Chain A
Amino acid sequence: MEILAQLIVSGIALGMIYALIAFGYQLTFATSGTLNFGQGEALMLGALVGLTLVGHMSYWLMIPLVLVFGALQGIFVERVGVQPAIKTKSEFGWIMTTISLAIIFKNVAENIWGHDDITFPSPLPTEPLQFMGIRVLPMEILVVVGALAIMLAVELFNRKSIYGKAVVATSNDRDAAGLMGINTGMVITFSYALSSMTAAFAGVLVAPLTLTGATMGVVLGLKAFAVAIIGGLNSGMGVIVGGLILGIAETTTGYYVSTGYKDVPGLLLLLLVLAIKPAGMFGKSVIKKV
């Protein structure tokens, strides 16, 4: 029983990272119906840039700089990869361009930071805390708090500021938003900036718990796909629950079955959700007007 509780606690931290990346998918999907197949690479770049910066400053000072970097990286992806494809209404186009940008980023990172995984110095004590026999790393708590905080911040921004409302309006009805004088192209660029920013943030949150390296993003980005589909591409609650489900499913599979198989339940769950409720567990299916 204690072991199960331990597995669940570890699963939660992992799940929140997935949720945060999946949240990034939702941000761009809402405004433009596109998503960045290189979201994992945005996370990886955030972590590696953070690693380099941490050599010169404290972890806490590094975070805002990484956020800025993430936002710029997102703008780059949108301008180079997504915008031209949106203009030609080509789904194939944006999928291919974001993938190719992703492999370019990965390759460049390999050439800058090398092929090997590097440890990321933890800003918090690495001694686990004990709660009723369950060991929790302080960093795991930071992951959960940090992930929730940034999602909440984005939500608040969307609800309170006029720019946030413009973002929601664009995702409701892009043409009508344009009629309000909202530069919807800019809103989409902005959503990519936000999305990559959250991914970069997820990167520096998860890095002290795992190792950093050019290949760290691929699997994380993939898991977050599963989370986004399981929870629903348009449900904020969905990604959190989906992330938790997947995170816990992985730690328990890893323990009870085999660590080699820990990535399998995610896909099975993914196929199952698509087969039963294609819009996701919490997603609303949209009736397309003809």
Chain B
Amino acid sequence: MLQIQNLHAAYGKVEVLHDISLEVPKGKVVTLIGSNGAGKTTTMRAVSGMIKPSGGSISLNGKNITGLTSNKIARAGLAHSPEGRRVFATLSVTDNLLLGAFPRLTFGRERGDVQGDLARVFELFPRLKERAGQQAGTLSGGEQQMLAMGRALMLNPEVLLLDEPSMGLAPLLVNEVFRIIAELKGRGITMLLVEQFAAAALEVADYGYVLENGRIACHGPAQQLKDDPAVKAAYLGASH
């Protein structure tokens, strides 16, 4: 579904991604793990067009999306729930969600069942329904995270990029986020997941890539990575 080949990316003159290749097959969940500054978020940003890659190619469903602007990539069917949530603070929860479906609402005709999707998102995140009319900026961190995920789902994406969905959340909410990811997986949504909680991410994922200093250090089926002693030592046992 999503294919990245020999991706390079730089901030200014400093190259931070070197030759990243990875693949997200349809209906699967793939996770990127690695320490802070390894390039996980940069990879996500390069895929969704928030930064222009300096080399390599990215294709979505066989269509080349390398170097397109982020709005074109979104229209091609890639949703990205960015690091730090980035909800539209002065808009209501419902408006935030509707904007997630923006490409389907333009030119005066609705494409697909937007209202039905809205209802489904509210069903998935009951908290959001309670807050439907509230300004997004006044939500708590956990609610904002749900909103960011719900907003990305409103696109009915081919691929969903989730960047650090558990960031800044209380442990209880972290569990909730992973439960939702598992549920989305059950619905057959293709996902690329970046998570600092590597153990939990590998638990829900089918396949994993380990990033180190902007390079892919190793990759393999999630189960295999989880049992890999090197990975275990570096990322899974971080606090033990």
* Chain A residues near B (Cβ < 8 Å): 162-163, 165-166, 168-169, 172-173, 175-185
Contacts and interface: CB of A to CB of B under 8 A. Distances in A.
The 9 closest A-B pairs by CB, nearest first: A181-B74, A178-B70, A181-B103, A176-B86, A172-B88, A183-B71, A169-B88, A162-B105, A180-B102
Q: How large is the interface on B (under 10, 10 to 19, 20 to 34, 35 or more residues)?
A: 20 to 34
A235 to B, nearest CB: 12
A172 B90 contact: yes
B236 interface: no
A179 B88 contact: no
B71 A172 contact: no
Given A165-B99, A172-B91, A181-B155, 17 more contacts: A162-B99, A162-B102, A165-B95, A166-B102, A168-B90, A169-B99, A172-B89, A176-B88, A177-B88, A178-B71, A179-B48, A179-B50, A180-B74, A180-B102, A180-B103, A182-B102, A183-B69
A176 B99 CA distance: 11
Residue of A166, A181, A184 with highest tally of chain B CB at under 10 A: A181
B49 interface: yes
Interface of B: 48-50, 69-71, 74-75, 79-80, 82, 86-91, 95, 98-100, 102-103, 105-106, 151-152, 155
A182 to B, nearest CB: 5
A26 B50 CA distance: 26
A84 B71 CA distance: 19
What DSSP secondary structure best describes chain A's contact surface?
Answer: helix
A193 B69 CA distance: 22
A175 B70 contact: yes
A178 B49 contact: yes
Nearest to B137: A172
Contacts of B152: 179
Contacts of A166: 99, 102
Residue of A162, A173, A177 with highest tally of chain B CB at under 10 A: A162
A114 to B, nearest CB: 44
B71 A165 contact: no
Contacts of A173: 86, 88-89
Contact of A179 (B80, B89, B91, B106): B80
